[in-house]
Amino acid sequence: MRALTLVEAALAPQVKAYVDRNPKSATAFEQAKQSGIAGGTNRASIFYMPFPLTFVDGKGAKAITLDGQEVTDFLGNFTAGLFGYSPEPVIKAVTGAMAHGHALGGGANLFETRAARMLTERFPSLDLVRFSNTGTEANTYAINTARAVTGKSKILIYDGAYHGAWIHGGASAGPLDTPYKIITIPFGNAHEIRQAIHQHRDDLAAVLIEPVMVNPVLYLKQLAPIPYLQAIRAACDQAGCALIFDEVMTSRLAPGGGQEVVGVTPDLMTFGKYFGGGLPLGGFGGREAWMARHDPLHPKSINSGGTFNQNPISLAAMCAVLDSLWSPEQCVAHNARGDAFRDAINQLAAQHHVPCQAMGSGSLITLVWQWAPVLPQSDDPLVCPLELKNHPSSAKFAELFWFDLLLNHGLLVGRPKLNYLTLPTPLTADDEVRFLNAMCDFFAKYTVELQSLADETE
């Protein structure tokens, strides 16, 4: 455990410098607690010690902290900030909608029609859609749709999966989770997943997965192998249950989402986050056979809806996003840039012979701090080994990297313990060069510590 001792010693002065340089953020956090916000945060899932930064301004990919530091954002608010801060088309659309009565009696509006048409034209699985306010709500609606249509109750998800604030898989589940009848199974072996689907077929309503590799510790967001997903697709058909793709994050990977890339079409899909251009927005949809009962005139209609599910402000923003910020061509180009950037990170790590691997797909990148290959070769196309060491030192190196790049280079790279990059579109080539240069500096500064980590994670 020498690496852990070394990295903890290196981390201590960085944390002290963070505290010293951000007194106003520290005070703001204490004031939040004193004001009555439980724990001082409304987003405990991404809370970090010693206290979170408070941001007061931002434009494009640049944000300003309460203490005056300008930060270049590579995190992109976990994909919700795909288009950076305050994109002009969204500002124009929102102010225009507000100028014409943004509530409009809570009735139907023209924005939802335009948004729905653009979505059904882009995503292979979408015949019909419904909107919500968050991805969490979208996944809840999709699950309950599958349960209503099939008359079954169980849901199969991956161990360690995250499908929103109250839908977790395995050990990550907590007392606030919705008490669904959940079957959890590890990612990686489609033979075992098919067996579980067959075993529970009489009471299995849906298999809810992201079309990516899932691990209880890291957001890898690397698309799963096509034969693996095809096997799960076929098993769901045989069992008469819905295959739901949670594409709240992965829908950004291609004009038609992750499902387009892998060529596997789910029965239902969920989306959200970036579609609102920074405003709350989510949604779900699927084949007509699964969505028809959302029609209020259907003889077995599902009584679904929500006060803000057709919120004109968010839907106007979504139309602006799809019209001006996220055309199919823009989507393809941005993910190609992400692939090239991930390759550049891996080439740099290889040149410096350090235990850092950039994983992911397109514009979604996760840094894994270990020497051993994350994806060992497999002779079985239905088996996808995922070898994450989960070494204590690996998490500490992610933390050290986060503090170092923030303090010394003004770069926001995920959050402590998870270097997760969901690249915003306003990032420039110069920003990427700054990131790579900062990595070089980090590798040079912590040569001894990184060598020790390599020895312990080979």
Alpha helix (H) ranges present in 106-134? 110-122
From the list 250, 218, 224, the residue with the least C-alpha distance to 369 is 218
- Supply 245's token pair: 């793709």
Q: What is the pLDDT of residue 266?
A: 98
- What's 380's DSSP letter? -
Structural domains of the chain, ranges and CATH numbers in brackets = 2-82+328-456 (3.90.1150.10), 88-325 (3.40.640.10)
pLDDT one-digit tens code per residue, 174-189: 899 999 999 999 999 9
Across all residues in the chain, what is the average pLDDT? 95
Please state, in angstroms and as integers, the Cα–Cα distance from residue 383 to each residue in 28, 85, 187, 208, 379, following that order: 48, 41, 9, 19, 8
The 10 Å CB-count burial string (b at 16+, else e) for 10-35 is bbeebbeebeeebeebbebbeebeee
Cα separation, 389 vs 405, in Å, equals: 24
Give residues with Cβ within 8 angstroms of 117, minimum separation 6. none
Q: What is the pLDDT of residue 252?
A: 98
Beta strands in 85-217 (DSSP E): 128-132, 154-158, 181-185, 204-209
User: HSE of 151 in the Cβ direction (CA atoms, 13 Å)?
Assistant: 2
pLDDT one-digit tens code per residue, 203-237: 999 999 999 999 877 888 999 999 999 999 999 99
pLDDT one-digit tens code per residue, 31-42: 999 999 999 999
Q: Are 172 and 216 in contact (CB under 8 A)?
A: yes
- What's 330's DSSP letter? H
Please state, in angstroms and as integers, the Cα–Cα distance from residue 257 to each residue in 10, 114, 284, following that order: 41, 19, 13
Q: Are 83 and 424 in contact (CB under 8 A)?
A: yes
Q: Are 322 and 118 in contact (CB under 8 A)?
A: yes
DSSP string of 39-88, one letter each residue: GG-S-GGG--SS----EEEEEBTEEEETTS-EEEESSGGGGTTTT-BS-H
Backbone angles phi, psi at 173, to 5 degrees: -70, 150
Cα separation, 193 vs 156, in Å, equals: 9
Cα separation, 213 vs 143, in Å, equals: 21
- Supply 11's token pair: 């981390």
Determine the distance from the C-alpha atom of residue 419 to the mean position of all C-alpha atoms in its chain, rounded to a whole number.
13
Note the pTM of the prediction, 2 decimals: 0.96
What H or E segment, with its residue span, contains residue 359?
strand 357-361
Q: Are 82 and 252 in contact (CB under 8 A)?
A: yes
Which burial class, exposed, middle or buried, applies to 344 when counting CB atoms under 10 A from its CB (0-12, 13-18, 19+)?
middle
pLDDT one-digit tens code per residue, 45-66: 899 999 999 999 999 999 999 9
Q: How confident is the model at residue 296 (pLDDT cuts 50, 70, 90)?
A: very high
What H or E segment, with its residue span, contains residue 277?
none
Please state, in angstroms and as integers, the Cα–Cα distance from residue 250 to each residue in 85, 280, 308, 363, 365, following that order: 21, 17, 24, 10, 12
Predicted confidence (pLDDT) at residue 421 exceeds the cutoff of 90: yes
Q: Are 156 and 208 in contact (CB under 8 A)?
A: yes
Predicted confidence (pLDDT) at residue 202 exceeds the cutoff of 90: yes
Predicted confidence (pLDDT) at residue 275 exceeds the cutoff of 70: yes
Cα R_g (the chain), whole angstroms: 22
pLDDT one-digit tens code per residue, 369-411: 999 999 999 999 999 999 887 788 999 999 999 999 999 999 9
- Strand 420-422 and strand 282-286: the pairing is unpaired
Give residues with Cβ within 8 angstroms of 105, minimum separation 6. none
Q: What is the pLDDT of residue 217?
A: 77
- Supply 89's token pair: 């088309």
Rounded to 10 deg, the angle between the 2-21 and 392-409 helix axes is 30
Average pLDDT on 410-431 reads 96
Q: What is the pLDDT of residue 305?
A: 84
Average pLDDT on 71-75 reads 98
Cα separation, 19 vs 31, in Å, equals: 16
Q: What is the pLDDT of residue 208?
A: 98
pLDDT one-digit tens code per residue, 106-142: 778 899 999 999 999 999 999 999 999 999 999 999 9
Q: What is the pLDDT of residue 207?
A: 98
Q: What is the pLDDT of residue 105?
A: 65
pLDDT one-digit tens code per residue, 307-366: 899 899 999 999 999 999 999 999 999 999 999 999 999 999 999 999 999 999 999 999
Q: What is the pLDDT of residue 325?
A: 98
Q: pLDDT > 70: what percent of the chain?
A: 99
Cα separation, 196 vs 323, in Å, equals: 42
From the list 56, 210, 72, the residue with the least C-alpha distance to 142 is 210
Q: What is the pLDDT of residue 304?
A: 84
Peptide bond preceding 328: is omega within 30 degrees of 0, i.e. cis? no
Q: What is the pLDDT of residue 125?
A: 97
Predicted confidence (pLDDT) at residue 18 exceeds the cutoff of 90: yes
Average pLDDT on 186-196 reads 97
